Amino acid sequence: MRQLRPYPQVVVTAKAARSLKGGHPWVFEGEVLRVEPAPSDGRAPANGDVVDVVEENGTYQGTGLLSQQSKIRVRVVSRNANDRFDASFWRRKIEWAWEHRKVAMGSLALPGCEPDTNCCRVIFSEADGFPGLIVDRYEDILVSQVGTVGMQLLRPTIYPLLLQVLQADGVAIRGIYERNDSPARAKEGLPLHKGFYDFAAPGAVAEGLDVPALPVPDSARVLARENGILFDLDIENSQKTGFFLDQKYNRRAVRNIAAGRRVLDCFCHVGPFGLNAAAGGAQFVRCVDVSQTAIDLARLNARANNLELAPDGSERMAFTCANVLDYLPHLRQDRQALRQEGGPFDLIVLDPPAFTKSRSTVRNAAHGYREINYEAMRLLPRGGYLATCSCSHFMTRDLLAKAIAEAAHQANVQLKQVEERQQAPDHPILWGVPQTHYLDFFIFQIV
C-alpha cells in the first residue's frame, strides 16, 4: 500500500505539468485546478506551507511552497518524493550553494587580493533552490532580501544554518541585515522593513538549532573589497543589497583594457567600473550618475583607494551628477562641454538600470538601449571601445544585440566584438528557468 503523503496537494493543469517537467519551478494561479487537504491527516494548507504538486491523475510533479496571495501560487523546491523538508534538507541546499561559489570563484582572485568569495552572492533565489531569497556576503556581514511568504517563515531555520555552514568553513559572520523594503513583498502580503536580524529575539532561531551569541551590529556601513578595491557601502540605504556584485568580472574586463585611456563611466553608482578602470591604469576617468548620493560615495571611494589623483598630482578621476540620457547628447552636440568633462573619451561604459521590469514595456526599453548606445558610439572615435549591458531578463540577449546593432547602423559605425559576458557565476543561471539569466554584457571596438 502506498504511503500517504503528509502535505496538502495542489492539483494543476496539464500545461503546468509540462512546464514543471521542463524544469521550471513555478505554478501560476491560473494553472491551479484545486487545492486538496493532506492525504495523511486531512490538514488544509496555510499560507507559506509545504505542498505537493500533482496532476489530475495523481502523478507527482514536485513539492513546493504555497503563496496564497501571489500570482505565482507554488514555487517548487524539490522533485524528489523522498525528501523531508527539515533542517537537514535546507542545510544541504546551503552547502551546495556555498560549494558552488567556492568552485566557480575560488581560483579567480587577482594576485595579492582578497578571495573573490569575500564579497559574493551566497544564495540566488530559484537558482539555488530558495525561491524568493537572496543573500549577499560583504566580508563579515550578510545582507538578505526575502520576497516570498514561504522563505519569510523559514528564516528561523535558514539564517542559523547559513551561519553554521559558513562558520564550519572558517567564515565568521557577525550579522545578517535584512533589506526587506521592496514593494514586491506586497504581492505576498508581507510587510516592509529593514534592519539587522536579532537572533536573541523570541522565535528567531528554530528549535534544535544553535547560533553563536551575536550582538546586533551598531552600524549598517560596511568596508568591503572587490578586485582589490575598497568600497564604503551603506547597506541600509543603497540600491538593492548595497552593491551590484553581478558585475564583478565584467568590471575586471574593463580594467584589463583601460590602461592609458580616457574613460567615461555612465550610470556609475558608487564608482566600481570607474575605479577598476583607474586601477587598471586609465589616464582619466569621468564618473556620471543622476544620484548625488551615489556620486558622493564614488568620490569617497576614489579617495579611499588613492585613485582620485595621478602620481604626478593631476586629476585622474572626476565626478558629475547628471542624467546620462541628457548628458550624452549634450556632450555630442557641445564639443567645448566635452573637453571640459575630460573628453574626447576612447572608452565608454554603459551600465544602466533595468529599462524594463515587465514584458509589456520591452519595446520602450529597446528604444532606450538603442538611444544610449547610439549616443555613446557617436562620441567615440574609430578605434575606441564601448562596454555596454542590460540587467533585465525581459531584455534578452538577442533583443539587446538587436538594439545595439541598430544603434551602430544609425551611427554609421561597425562593431568589432571584443568580449561577450554574463553575470558573475555567484549569480548562477539555472537552465530551464530563463528568469535567472538577466545580465548580458558586451565589449566592442568601434571600427
The whole-angstrom separation of Cα 347 and Cα 357 is: 28
Chain position carrying cell 568580472: 249
Instruction: Identify whether the C-beta of residue 379 lies closer than 8 Å to the C-beta of residue 348.
Output: yes
Q: How many CA atoms lie within 13 A of 133 on its CB side?
A: 25
Domain range summary for the chain, segments of one domain joined by + = 9-78, 87-196, 244-446
The whole-angstrom separation of Cα 354 and Cα 439 is: 10
pLDDT, tens only, 309-351: 988 888 999 999 999 999 999 999 999 999 999 999 999 999 9
pLDDT at 1 > cutoff 70: no
428: Cβ contacts below 8 Å, ≥ 6 apart: 100, 104, 124, 127, 128, 436
Q: How many CA atoms lie within 13 A of 215 on its CB side?
A: 3
pLDDT, tens only, 64-104: 999 999 999 999 999 999 999 999 999 999 999 999 999 99
Instruction: Identify whether the C-beta of residue 271 lies closer than 8 Å to the C-beta of residue 308.
Output: no
Residues 185-196, mean pLDDT to the nearest whole number: 93
Q: Can you give the pLDDT at residue 237?
A: 85
Residues 217-234, mean pLDDT to the nearest whole number: 92
103: Cβ contacts below 8 Å, ≥ 6 apart: none
- b/e map 290-329, b = 16+ CB within 10 Å: bbeebbebbbebbeebebbeeeeeeebbbbbebebeebbb
pLDDT, tens only, 7-58: 999 999 999 999 999 999 999 999 999 999 999 899 999 999 999 999 999 9
Q: Can you give the pLDDT at residue 365?
A: 85
Report the CATH superfamily, name and number, of domain 87-196: RNA methyltransferase domain (HRMD) like (3.30.750.80)
Q: What percent of the chain has pLDDT over 70?
A: 99
The whole-angstrom separation of Cα 13 and Cα 54 is: 9
- Domain 9-78 has what CATH class? mainly beta
Q: Do domains 87-196 and 244-446 have the same CATH topology?
A: no
Residues 196-206, mean pLDDT to the nearest whole number: 95
Report the CATH superfamily, name and number, of domain 244-446: Vaccinia Virus protein VP39 (3.40.50.150)
Parallel/antiparallel/unpaired status of strands 284-289 and 262-266: parallel
Give the residue among 84, 72, 66, 124 at the shortest CA–CA distance from 100: 124
C-alpha grid cell, residue 253: 574586463
Instruction: Identify whether the C-beta of residue 346 lies closer than 8 Å to the C-beta of residue 288.
Output: no
The whole-angstrom separation of Cα 121 and Cα 119 is: 7
- Nearest 5°: phi and psi at 375? -65, -40
DSSP string over 289-353: ES-HHHHHHHHHHHHHTT-SB-TTS-B-EEEEE--HHHHHHHHHH-HHHHHHTT-S-SEEEE-PP
The whole-angstrom separation of Cα 59 and Cα 84 is: 19
pLDDT at 360 > cutoff 80: no
Could you tell me the pTM of the whole model? 0.93
The H or E element containing residue 227 is none
From 119, 266, 287, 391, the catalytic residue = 391
From the number of C-beta atoms within 10 Å of its C-beta (0-12, 13-18, 19+), residue 282 rates as buried
The pLDDT mean for the chain works out to: 94
Q: Can you give the pLDDT at residue 392?
A: 85
Instruction: Identify whether the C-beta of residue 152 lies closer than 8 Å to the C-beta of residue 204.
Output: no
Instruction: Band the pLDDT of 364: cuts 50, 70, 90.
Output: confident
Parallel/antiparallel/unpaired status of strands 262-266 and 347-350: parallel
Rg (CA), the chain: 24
Q: How many CA atoms lie within 13 A of 184 on its CB side?
A: 13
pLDDT at 2 > cutoff 70: no
C-alpha grid cell, residue 447: 571600427
C-alpha grid cell, residue 256: 584589463
Residues 230-252, mean pLDDT to the nearest whole number: 89
- b/e map 366-382, b = 16+ CB within 10 Å: bebbbbbbbbbbbbbee
Task: Note if 391 is an active site residue.
Answer: yes
The whole-angstrom separation of Cα 282 and Cα 257 is: 9
Specify the DSSP class assigned to residue 373.
H
